[in-house]
Amino acid sequence: MEPIDVTGAVTIRFWCSKSRSYSLLYRDRMEDQQWTSLTNIAAISGTGEEMRLVEVVDPQAAGIPQRYYRLQTPALPGP
């Protein structure tokens, strides 16, 4: 798994395989809080060996002192 690179306060960039779908989840505390879906990233047809750079902006993160992110594959159902 590649590390998630958080630049500034609200932009998350990461590499993913073209043939996989992903969900980017977040929470503001590590303990006793469920993960919330920020967005889903759809799979693009490919061999699976090809990688693509994805950039996601989290508009709700501004002003929050800490936020944790989790990348999950395959993507969760829903938006």
**How many structural domains is the chain composed of?**
1
Would 47 be classed as within a structural domain? yes
Q: Which domain holds residue 57?
A: 5-72
Q: Is 77 within a domain? A: no
Q: Is residue 55 part of a domain?
A: yes
Measured CA to CA, the distance from residue 65 to residue 2 in angstroms comes to 24
State the Cα–Cα distance between residues 60 and 21, nearest whole angstrom. Answer: 23
Is the CB of residue 27 less than 8 Å from the CB of residue 58?
no
Give a yes or no: residue 12 inside a domain. yes
Residue 39 domain-assigned? yes
- The answer to whether residue 60 is domain-embedded is yes
| pLDDT of res. 40 | 95
44 assigned to some structural domain: yes
Q: pLDDT 10s digit of each residue in the chain, 79 long? A: 556 555 555 788 999 988 899 999 999 988 878 999 999 999 887 665 788 899 999 988 877 778 899 999 999 887 6
The model carries a pTM of: 0.78
The answer to whether residue 11 sits within a structural domain is yes
